[in-house]
Amino acid sequence: MPSSFDERDSAAFTPLTELQMRDLERMSDEEFWNYARQRVYTLPEAPTHAEYLECKLSGRTCLIALHDLAEVLPPPHKLARLPEMPAWMTGIMAWRDETIAVVNLDLYLPPAPGVHPLSTVECTLLVAHSTGRSVGLLVPAIGLTSRIEFAQISALTDPPGLVPTRNTEIFDGVYLHMPILNISTLLAALVKQIGWAPTHG
């Protein structure tokens, strides 16, 4: 699965078509270097869309960009507990030669008053990865993937009260009443809070 970095950079190095390849072969050295310079100075086209996965939480659904997910798998039979974990952290598990924290996303993003968190007995584990950090996110269920144009994503204030105000920085925006998680910011916040738990409770 390509990371966001790979995807952005690949735009700058769009592969040549077969026709272009043939043209290259016919070029003189001067023509070739002119063409190369032109390609170098051509600004890459910014992506206009991305694929998102629906994560069904208690009473709401949020979206996570697929390129932020390293793996989707059933949760392990048993998670090891760590002393002094935050209440929303379920435990730790071994994943690809490293030990990662597993967080119950439904508890971390508290539902609206009156809505009880869903059981995570038959939940799904999403291993999110960003800037060298990997964290397991437990969600009660996942839905479909959707291709969303960035232009269709609206600001968090629309509609107001959709996401908890204290956590606004971990959202990129809202698409069809579904908040979109900014995984990079979310993981940074999770890692910080897990690290602080022994001293700050």
> Does 159 sit behind a cis peptide bond, omega within 30 degrees of 0 on the bond before it?
yes
Binding letters toward another protein, positions 157-196, x by CB under 8 A: ----------------------------------xx-xx-
- What spatial distance separates the first Cα and last Cα of the chain, rounded to whole Å? 36
- Nearest residue (CB) to another protein, 92 versus 162: 92
User: What is the nearest approach in angstroms of another protein to the Cβ of residue 73?
Assistant: 12
**Residues β-bridged to residue 56:** 61, 141
User: What is the nearest approach in angstroms of another protein to the Cβ of residue 76?
Assistant: 7
- Nearest residue (CB) to another protein, 141 versus 191: 191
- Nearest residue (CB) to another protein, 80 versus 112: 80
- Nearest residue (CB) to another protein, 99 versus 145: 99
What phi and psi values does residue 194 have, to the nearest 5 degrees?
A: -65, -40
Positions in 49-88 near another protein (CB under 8 A): 76, 78-84
User: What is the nearest approach in angstroms of another protein to the Cβ of residue 2?
Assistant: 24
Q: With 0-12 CB in 10 A as exposed, 13-18 as middle and 19+ as buried, what is 78?
A: exposed
Positions in 83-122 near another protein (CB under 8 A): 83-84, 92-94, 97-99, 101
User: What is the nearest approach in angstroms of another protein to the Cβ of residue 186?
Assistant: 14
User: What is the nearest approach in angstroms of another protein to the Cβ of residue 85?
Assistant: 9
Quick one: which of 103, 123, 80 has its CA closest to 181? 103
- The owner of tokens 């291993």 is 127
What span, in angstroms and rounded, lies between the C-alpha atoms of 102 and 179?
A: 21
Q: 91 with 85: CB under 8 angstroms?
A: yes
Q: Which residues, including other chains, have CB under 8 Å from residue 181's CB and lie 6 or more apart? A: 55, 62, 63, 64, 170, 171, 172
User: What is the nearest approach in angstroms of another protein to the Cβ of residue 171?
Assistant: 22
Site residue total, another protein (CB under 8 A)? 20
What span, in angstroms and rounded, lies between the C-alpha atoms of 94 and 28?
A: 56
Which residues lie near another protein (CB under 8 A)?
76, 78-84, 92-94, 97-99, 101, 191-192, 194-195, 198
